[in-house]
Amino acid sequence: MKYDIIVIGGGPAGATFAANAPKKYKVLLIDGHKIKYKGNGKPCGGLISPDAQKLLKQLGYEIPAEILTDPQIPLVKTIDIDSRVTLDCARNYINVDRAAFDEWLRSKAADNVETVFGICSDIKRDEHGFSVCVSGENGDISEYRSEWIVGADGADSIVRRKLFPNKKPRKYTAIQQWFNAEKDEPFYSCIFDKTATDRCMWSLFKSGKMIFGGAFPQENSRKRFEGAKKKLQMHAWYKFGEPIFTEACTVVCPRAKDLYCGENKVILLGEAAGFISASSFEGISYAIKSGKLAAEAFNCYGKPEKTYKRMAFILKIKLMVKMIKAALMFNSFFRIFAMKIGIGK
């Protein structure tokens, strides 16, 4: 079957593209979440940042009440374990069920978009365009063809790996565990402990459960995670109990050279493009923004991939500012100093 555009990945980036895809194109959206995450959503905090909230409003979307999860989050607590310094900052996050949120965004796909559920297992370029192999829920293999490819397939993007093998982004392993909680606390914690990770860890509450997670260097990631839990319990910051669920996935921690929009009839969106904050790992807003920009690029005169690259320039600058913030935040001397004088409050 032949399409103008094949979008691989129906997370926030691919779904936003699909919702705004210009009518003149025949579009196929391929999404593998049912197979990849075995019925659960992508491992995520499910916190919709103020930037993402603004973008959703611009798109005319209002998050339906049934997707919201308690508690809503008006506060971020930053904790430096070794120095025992803490800082509270007011910041409004909307707490959602991430799987339901993605489903809701996908439901907005334009009429000219067909959706297929399956895992893209191969992509090849030839003189007529692209051929994409998809393995379905029953293991059946189908082949689709297109003129353009939109890679919105997240941190482990097959589009990026197959079509741009030299553009490997820096990757960490994100691990989260869910625990029963006595009550929902209305804050999100950002935790620093340099023995566990040179990035950050986090905790939050969601519908009677507490989620504790973090981004760890890929080597010994599980050992680091368990070590961090032990230390946090020992210092009486947390009382975890038995985990009810553990989830893990790759997360991109971008450097400037990892921000890559694609070229030559291939467009990368969201985390596949490296568009995620290097300081907080907040990525939903960048996914939505890049999906919207790419759809607009297909509506403009000229080559969509070049127009998109130009349009995404501001997004890249914003992400580079986050990288500078990350370099300061992940330096314990600067971080403790900044927390003590209340920077970011």
Ligand X SMILES: Cc1cc2nc3c(=O)[nH]c(=O)nc-3n(C[C@H](O)[C@H](O)[C@H](O)COP(=O)(O)OP(=O)(O)OC[C@H]3O[C@@H](n4cnc5c(N)ncnc54)[C@H](O)[C@@H]3O)c2cc1C
Minimum distance of ligand X from residue 19's CB (angstroms):
13
- Per-residue x/- mask for ligand X, residues 60 to 79, rule CB under 6 A? --------------------
**129 touches ligand X (CB under 6 A):** no
Selected from 249, 300, 320, 323, the binder of ligand X by CB under 6 A is 249
Give the Cα separation of 301 and 93 in Å (integer): 37
Minimum distance of ligand X from residue 131's CB (angstroms):
15
How many binding residues for ligand X (CB under 6 A)? 40
Selected from 151, 154, 254, 262, the binder of ligand X by CB under 6 A is 154
**312 touches ligand X (CB under 6 A):** no
Minimum distance of ligand X from residue 113's CB (angstroms):
15
**287 touches ligand X (CB under 6 A):** yes
The one-character DSSP state at 198 is S
Number of residues that make up the chain: 345
**158 touches ligand X (CB under 6 A):** yes
Alpha-helical runs (H) found in the chain: 12-20, 33-36, 50-58, 98-106, 158-163, 221-234, 284-299, 304-311, 313-329, 332-341
Give the Cα separation of 291 and 296 in Å (integer): 9
Give the Cα separation of 214 and 197 in Å (integer): 8
* Residue with smaller CB distance to ligand X, 3 or 281: 281
Q: 83 to each of 261, 276, 336, how far by Cα in Å?
A: 40, 28, 8
Selected from 123, 201, 284, 339, the binder of ligand X by CB under 6 A is 284
**161 touches ligand X (CB under 6 A):** no
DSSP for 100-126, written as a single string: HHHHHHHTT--TTEEEEEEEEEEEEEE
* Chain residues in the site for ligand X (CB under 6 A): 8-14, 30-33, 36, 42-47, 49, 52, 119-120, 152-154, 158, 174, 176, 213, 249, 251, 270-272, 276, 281-284, 287
